[in-house]
Amino acid sequence: MATKCPNCGAAMAAMTLASHVGAGVSIDSCASCQAFWFDAHESLQLAPGSTLKLFTLIGAHSSSGRSAFSEVLRCPRCAARLILTHDIQRNTRFTYWRCDAQHGRFITFFDFLREKNFIRPLSPQQLEELRQNVQIVNCSNCGAPVDLTTGSACTHCSSPISMLDMKQAEQLVAQLQRASEPRAVDPALPLELARVRRELEASFASMGSDADWWKQASSAGLVEAGIGAVARWLKKFEG
């Protein structure tokens, strides 16, 4: 029986991914709500290659709008009300909704990337360069417009303006190269990720060099623009 999304109630898409302990981990995702359901501890068990596959999945839906979230979300296993939980991982704060009976948790794509250390706030210099190029960007967490002339955080959900941290993607690939994965990592992938990171960093210094990227960044969000760029490259190396 398909897992129902705690937010919209639609059937979630199930997938089985590799874990650190060797056994398969079943993950459920809702594209319209842009969120995952993890049964207890599944997120912590994901192998590096599985995290990259979920990253690619997120990239495929990064340009589409997210459904509004209900005030009450219910566990797909026991129908109990999920509890909003604030957590921290490697100095990065993120939120999710958990079942008090420990059946699992519901987390948005954005907060999953936060948990896995893929997202970081912009530096003061990057914020200033961003203000020189665009005045309004959409929040990557909730989608609300953020007026950069008056602040650097979303007034709706309080999330700071953030960008994709390409160094984490490169570190995951390095872990894949050292791990006993089912398939060897293409030696060209680390070089491609490094190239994409340089391009994203260079975008802040020169809007004119990539106007299409800045258009996507201002309309969809900085994180989404970065995810889209990386996901296009990761897709080439999927097997």
- Mean pLDDT for 98-120 is 91
Q: Is residue 204 part of a domain?
A: yes
Q: Which of 12-26, 33-47, 158-172, 215-229 has the lowest average pLDDT?
A: 215-229
Domain identity same for 146 and 216 = yes
Looking at residue 214, its pLDDT comes to: 64
Domain identity same for 129 and 197 = yes
Domain identity same for 61 and 133 = no
Looking at residue 174, its pLDDT comes to: 64
Domain identity same for 92 and 126 = no
pTM beyond cutoff 0.95: no
Q: Is residue 31 part of a domain?
A: yes
Q: Is residue 4 part of a domain?
A: no
Residue 27 has pLDDT above 80, yes or no: yes
Q: Residue 188 has what DSSP assignment? A: H
Sheet holding 35-39, edge to edge: 13-18, 24-30, 35-39, 104-108, 92-98, 83-89
Domain identity same for 135 and 203 = yes
Which of 91, 115, 139 is the last residue in one of the domains? 115
Rounded to the nearest integer, the mean pLDDT of the chain is 79
Looking at residue 59, its pLDDT comes to: 77
The owner of tokens 């969120």 is: 35
205 vs 235: CA distance, rounded Å: 28
Domain identity same for 153 and 101 = no
Looking at residue 22, its pLDDT comes to: 67
For residues 224 and 37, which has the higher predicted lDDT (pLDDT)?
37
139-155 tens-digit pLDDT: 888 888 999 989 899 99
Q: Which domain holds residue 47?
A: 13-115
User: 125-134, 186-195, 201-210: which has the highest mean pLDDT?
Assistant: 125-134
> What's the domain count of the chain?
2
